[in-house]
């Protein structure tokens, strides 16, 4: 219907809607982004609290800053893969209130779990880990929590070996990772006392990440029940690829900046 000035109300309403549409779309986009961010934060906290509930001692870690590290250390050797505090071993805890406070105060932070306290971690190339996991499950072996890292590693969480009375029967992570052992156990790393690993949902540079294959609700097995299958899979992987993992090193918190 005309308004007496040669215009039609329907056309005027349509023009008004056309003018408001971009604003509505922008507002909807912002609301959707805020909702997605809230969901990610909730999922992150839920995963961290689940790890803490399983007894894994956690502490905040660095996170990606572009393709570098949030620590801003020039030439950081482990970007987004190390704790933020030099006191990470004493700081690590499975207290849910502490974990929730850290997660809220440091919304971008990754988290590490200190090994050798409650648990150890057997760390192998991804292809070898998948083959070993299939074999272990087919054999009915109890397998605990397992993670995959976007940098091509699979981590098997086990009960810690502790500190046996005979120290010759125990070795720290630094010795186990020494290049001299690579030919004997190619690609296999045993994280124990003095080491740590990232826990999901940690993020790595290059849009990579760490995710659970088997969650922390699974009981921790004795590491020796997994060791043979993992060592065999690593040996086959090295023979197949010709790689003995010379470039993969366990680097703990740097002693200097």
In a domain, 196, yes or no: yes
Residue 5 inside a domain? The answer is: no
Q: Tell me the C-alpha to C-alpha distance, in Å, between residue 138 and each of 141, 145, 236.
A: 8, 16, 18
Residue predicted with more confidence, 69 or 67: 69
Share of the chain above pLDDT 70, in %: 72
Tens digit of each residue's pLDDT (9 = 90 or more) over 91-115: 999 999 999 999 999 999 999 999 9
**pLDDT surpassing 70 at residue 238:** yes
Residues 6 or more apart from 206 whose CB is under 8 A from it? 64, 67, 150
Closest CA relative to residue 216, chosen from 101, 118, 128: 118
Q: Within a domain: residue 29?
A: no
In a domain, 67, yes or no: yes
Question: Domain for residue 233, yes or no?
Answer: yes
Q: If DSSP states are collapsed to H, E and C, what string results for 204-221?
A: ECCCEEEEEEECCCCCCC
Q: What is the pLDDT of residue 242?
A: 75
Distances (CA, A) of 182 to 26, 129, 177, 223: 55, 17, 8, 19
- For residue 126, being part of any structural domain is answered with yes
250 within domain boundaries: no
- Residue 6 per-residue DSSP state: S
Q: Supply the range of the domain harboring residue 206.
A: 39-241
Q: What is the pLDDT of residue 180?
A: 38
Which of 173-187, 188-202, 242-256 has maximum average pLDDT? 188-202
Helices (H), 54-119: 88-91, 96-105
Q: How confident is the model at residue 72 (pLDDT cuts 50, 70, 90)?
A: confident
Higher pLDDT, 27 or 130: 130
Count of structural domains within the chain: 1
Asked if the structure places residue 50 within a domain, the reply is yes
* Between residues 10 and 61, the one the model is more confident about: 61
Average pLDDT in the chain: 82
């Amino acid at each position: 219907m005309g308004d007496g000035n040669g215009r039609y109300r329907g056309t005027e309403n349509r023009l008004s809607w056309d003018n408001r549409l971009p604003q509505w779309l922008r507002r909807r986009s912002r609301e959707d982004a805020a909702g997605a961010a809230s969901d990610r934060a909730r999922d992150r906290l839920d995963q961290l609290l689940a790890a803490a509930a399983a007894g894994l001692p956690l502490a905040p870690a660095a996170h990606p800053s572009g393709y570098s590290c949030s620590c801003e250390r020039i030439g950081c050797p482990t970007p987004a893969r190390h704790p933020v505090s030099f006191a990470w071993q004493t700081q690590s805890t499975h207290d849910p209130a502490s974990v929730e406070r850290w997660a809220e105060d440091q919304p971008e932070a990754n988290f590490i779990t200190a090994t050798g306290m409650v648990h150890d971690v057997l760390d192998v190339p991804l292809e070898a880990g998948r083959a070993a996991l299939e074999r272990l499950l087919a054999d009915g072996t109890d397998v605990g929590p397992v993670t995959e890292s976007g940098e091509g590693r699979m981590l098997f969480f086990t009960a810690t070996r502790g500190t046996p009375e005979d120290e010759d029967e125990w070795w720290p992570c630094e010795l186990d990772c020494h290049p001299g052992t690579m030919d004997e156990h190619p690609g296999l790393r045993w994280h124990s006392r003095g080491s740590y690993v990232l826990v999901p949902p940690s993020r790595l540079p290059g849009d990579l990440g760490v995710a659970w294959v088997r969650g922390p609700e699974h009981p921790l097995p004795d590491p020796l029940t997994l060791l043979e299958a993992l060592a065999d899979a690593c040996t086959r992987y090295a023979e197949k690829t010709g790689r003995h993992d010379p470039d993969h090193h366990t680097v703990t918190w740097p002693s200097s900046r």
